[in-house]
Structures are given as C-alpha cells and as structure tokens.
Structure 1
C-alpha cells in the first residue's frame, strides 16, 4: 500500500536548486527546431472502460457533490491551446478507433478495477507520509514557478514514449502540478503521462492524474477511482492508454498537449487535451472538493517524477535519455504556459522559473534555457536512465 501511495506524494522535497537561466545551451534551440515531425496524440479507450450514465459516475458519491449540477462545458469559449502550425495539420492523428459512449453516458474505468485500487487513505497511509517525510527513493526533475502570486491554469506539450522499461512497483511520470495551501492542508491537481504497472497493469503510458484536498489525509486518488473528478467527454478520459504513432515522425517523439484551467465563473478546474478540432474538454475537478485551490493555484510545476524500490532501482524518466543528448533522444516539455491572476494565458517567463533535480545528473537532469523558437517557445529537455540514484 505504501508503494502505491508514493505515486503522487512528491510534496516535501529536498532539491538542489538552479536558476532557470543559468544553463548555457548554445545548440539547444537548433536541436529543437530541427525536429518538425512531431505528432500530437490522444488517449485510447479500451476494454478496461465501460459507459455509464453521466450522473451515475463515481464523482457523485462524494459527500460534497450530492446536489452538484454537471457543467457540460467551461464558460470560456472553445479554443486551441496554441496557435496551430502547418506541420501539425499534416501529422496530427487521433489514434482511437472507438467512437466513444452514446449520448448521456461517459467512459469510466470498470468497477472491479476501481475497487482494486480504491484504498482508504486515512487508515492505510503510513505515518511517515502524515508527517510529510519524503521517500528517499522518489526522485524529481522539475521546473516550477517562483513568484508568490495566483495562477488559474497551466498547459504544455508533454513528450510520450512507449518504450520505457518500468516494472513491478516502479513508476515514471511526466506531468503538470497545480498546488495551493500550507503543507498540512495541501490542495493539489497533478496530470500528465504516467507509466505505472501496479496501477494500470501494464508498462504503457497513460493519461494519468491525481488530486487531494488535504495533503492525502482523507482525500485523494488516481484518475477517477474515487469520487471527485467529473467526466463529461464521451471518449477521452483519465487512465486511458496513450498510444504513440511512429509513421512519418521521430521515433518516440510523439506528444500529448495537456491543459488545466480554472473556470473564472464556476471555479471548477477543467482538464483539456488538444485534438484535431481544437481543445477537447475532458472533465473537471469541482471547486467543492478543494479548500485552497478554490482561490487559484500558488505553485505550478512541470517535469518528471520517478520511484523505484531499492532492490530494483529507479526507472527511466522522459525517454530514458539524459537531456545532454540531442532533442530527438530526450524527453521534453514545450509551449509552457500559465494562466495568470487575470485569467490571461501567457508563456512562462524564465526569470520567474527555477529548475530542480534531487539526483546526480547521471540519473536524471533538466535543461532549460528559455525560448526555443516559434514552434516550441518556452521549452525544456529532461529525463534520464535512472538506476541506483541514491537517497
């Protein structure tokens, strides 16, 4: 149980800290701009999911959502997450043959699978996590905001690789964190690409998420396993497999475009992924399940997290290659944006960002040097092979 709970508990961390502008990457922009054959991909719904009535989904078992009225669409207008480029029109594909659920129903992970992972946090969480002690075998390579201000969202292109060797209780994540509140009451939404055999039963990348409203004391779970996340999209949902395509692109360089935005009217936190027709509204975390995130986020992080028990070691992160190599071999985050206190969507400012890594650069690393041209804009390379990364 303790090993499963480690999946998203990276809150109290001893990092080494480097100013985001401090690394000199003279050929990084050239490496980025050489690679034009990226493909944006969407999750695939398979037999692990069933279609159920939209008001019968697990979210409405939450005591604070008994009388909740579903918001079918965000109040802001539909838009693409970023300006679409000519190469995207040629290479973007939705790798999903399933037409999704019929009207009035949404895809939810099968009940049997939900029950297998639906643990009671208040009873099963180890004492060391209640005291916010970091597990020494949990490692991070992240870029995070530094100003003490309010954010209402974040977005990024996140690379997805389906050839990571992750086994047993290991996991490897590439995700966005949105957090607020003191550590003892921490509110957090985390979403991105996750490889976790113990949770998903395979070593494939999934659209993975986690949330908590009290630093994992009594609330929080993966995806939509426990009551909380409200699903509205008939086909795309949390926990689905992300299936890269290798036709006409760089092997392993597919990406998924993810955005989490707080609705300025309802206060709910919406999850969007980029589709061929623009931004697809997957669903939302209702404001009612949070205390501090109701007001916005005070911290945003982008990057990787990995865990491996001492007898196995740490798994690969990103693509498994260190970012000191060229772009085609490295994991990446591109088009990093935040939604500021006035609900304006802006590229991150390098002056306001710091990079962190808590291992030697032989295990994992992160290289960020600001703007990387019109295609990638604010972007960084990250990841590494893992191994015996120390404590």
Structure 2
C-alpha cells in the first residue's frame, strides 16, 4: 500500500530541471593554464583534458538558446574561479583537521557533522553516479552548512580518496544563504589534503561559464506541486581515468579531478553514497537538511533525490538496484531521517526522501 501511495504522489508532483544563475561579480576569469589546480606539485606537467572522451556534446558552452539565464562567459582561454568571500577562511593544503573531517563517512559518531544517506552495498567497482536533487532555500548561520550530494569513495579509511559533489548552502564559504554548486575532495582520509571547490590545488576547471559557486535556481517551494531538480553526475573517463563533473540542465562538463591525485580511485570507486550532510560549530544547533522537513511529509514537503543511477564496472549508466542499497542516518528520526522504497514511478524512477529540521541532533 505504501508503494502505491508514493507512486501516486510522485506522479502528482511535477518537476523541472534548473541550472545555475551566476552573480557575475562573484567570479574572476583566470587563465586556463594558471588556475589554482596547477599549483599542485603532482600537476606540474599535467596535460589538460578539454572535454571528456565519453561525450563531446557537454562542451557546447552555453549555446542552448532555451537557456533563460543571462550569463557572462569567460573569454577563450580563461575559466571562472569564484572569489573567496571570507578570505581568512580560505582552505589550503595545510588546512586544519576541523575543516577537513566533515565528510568522512567512516565515523558516524563524529561530533558536529551529521549524515542522512543511501549507499550501495554490492561488491563491485563503480565508475561514477548521477542523481537529480530537489533544491530548497535554507536560512543558516555563518557557522553552519547544509549539503545535498553524491559521494564517490575508494581506499582504506586512513588513506581515503573521496569526491563529494552536489548543491548546498554554506554561508562561511560564499558569504550568503544562496543554494550553490559545491564540491569537496580529499586524497588521504582528510588528513593533509582536500578542500571545497577551488580553494586548494586539485580540480581542473575547463568550462567557461559553469563553475563551483554557481547560484542554483529557481528553488522549490514546500507544499507546491512544482519541484526544481538539479541534475549532477560524476563520471570517470575510461581513457584518462580522470573524474569528471557533469552538472546542470545542459549536462555541462565543468571540469575534473585528475587521476594523479586520487590513486585509490584510479580503477574505480568501491562505494557510492547519496544524501545530505550538515555541520554546526560547537554550541550551535544542527541546521536544517534538504527542505528542512522530514521524509514522512512525503514529496510535497520533504527533500528528495530522484533518478538515482550508478556507472557500473563496464561504464554503463544504470539505475540503482534496491536490493543493493542501504539507508543510514546518524541522528534521532525527529532531527533527520531517510525513507527509501525503490521505484517511485516514471517521473522519479529510483528515488528516496531525506532531511529534516535539525536542532539538538545527538543520539
């Protein structure tokens, strides 16, 4: 009975995909060959891959006449890099562990960080994943953040390679409460390497318009039949081994994490995770996750991710299999929660609900 109820609701809720709508003054156009990535010693002689070998259509650079947003494209040979809003918060290769341990899924008891996720369980190598995330406005304090994302992970916990990609609100990073495209990576279990976006050398930006910090809109409204869904994908290039970020309605190839940085991911990822993550500094309540409403309020109110796909060991993009998926939440169900019932109709395909209001989230 529950399945049919979710199926009916999913058919009633109408969705549309959204792109980013950049505030142009937030970005600098930087020489393609002088971007932050090439300050990394392992990328000193790196040869830039201008587009993924699995498709060239993603590099049309905003030529879709149906794009309703007005964008300022960087000149040929330059790429956009977001201007750090809080200069003293800029992360580099020697950043403190407190900045880096936010996405380590191996410790569900980690203080101040909380997760509500859906994870793969089968014993196989993955070469990426994709999803569409319902986008909601959230009001957060400067010492909080709330993200909706995909995790790509490989290697032992002490030397973890991890890529996280999605959207979220991070006032300390961007200086506002806008929902933006955001990512994070580490090559050594969050010990010495890793950062958000371009704030340390690593990610190679190739697109002249889309980049981290893009404002994502319009957003969804709680209680409305219309939901704004933001599509994003991380896919390993079979020829080069680089991990590409594909985002937005136009499936724009934003850039990639070079395989030289992520040795444990060079042959693929052993686990894929989807869902939400929040952070709050000490003595501050946990912020809302997703829409700020619990999954029991279903698709009209709760945040969700739909069209969940993995890229399997043969580089085929296929729907996740409910038999090999496991939900996990490290808080009480009145703080955050996860609900997964598998196939949710032709609109959402494989989908799940997640999130909640936050608050006192300790167990």
Give the corresponding residue for 1:9: none
Cα shift at 1:115 = 5.0
RMSD: 2.7
Match 1:380 to one of 340, 346, 352: 352
Distance 2:74 2:203 in 1: 18
Distance 1:117 1:380 in 2: 34
Residue 327 of structure 1 aligns to a residue whose secondary structure is helix
1:171 aligns with 2:149: no
1:96 aligns with 2:74: no
Distance 1:123 1:78, change over 3 A: closer
Distance 1:243 1:128 in 2: 28
Give the corresponding residue for 1:184: 158
User: Given that residues 262 and 268 in structure 1 are in contact (C-alpha distance below 8 angstroms), is that contact kept between their aligned partners in structure 2?
Assistant: yes
User: Given that residues 338 and 348 in structure 1 are in contact (C-alpha distance below 8 angstroms), is that contact kept between their aligned partners in structure 2?
Assistant: yes
Q: CA offsets, 1:358-390, max 9 Å, x none?
A: 111111111111111112100011111111112
Match 2:331 to one of 359, 367, 371: 359
User: Given that residues 151 and 163 in structure 2 are in contact (C-alpha distance below 8 angstroms), is that contact kept between their aligned partners in structure 1?
Assistant: yes
Distance 1:312 1:61 in 2: 36
Distance 2:349 2:359 in 1: 32
1:240 aligns with 2:231: no
Counting only pairs closer than 5 Å after superposition, residues 240-319 of structure 1 correspond to structure 2 as: 240-244=214-218, 250=224, 253-275=227-249, 278-319=250-291
Q: CA offsets, 1:225-265, max 9 Å, x none?
A: 11110111111001222121579x94782121000000000
Distance 1:388 1:357, change over 3 A: same
Residue 60 of structure 1 aligns to a residue whose secondary structure is helix
Task: Number of aligned residue pairs: give it.
Answer: 353
Distance 1:203 1:245, change over 3 A: closer
TM-score by length of 1: 0.84
Cα shift at 1:124 = 2.6
Give the corresponding residue for 2:61: none
Distance 1:128 1:219, change over 3 A: closer
Give the corresponding residue for 2:26: 48
Cα shift at 1:307 = 1.9
1:59 aligns with 2:37: yes
Give the corresponding residue for 2:304: 332
Distance 1:304 1:93, change over 3 A: farther
TM-score by length of 2: 0.90
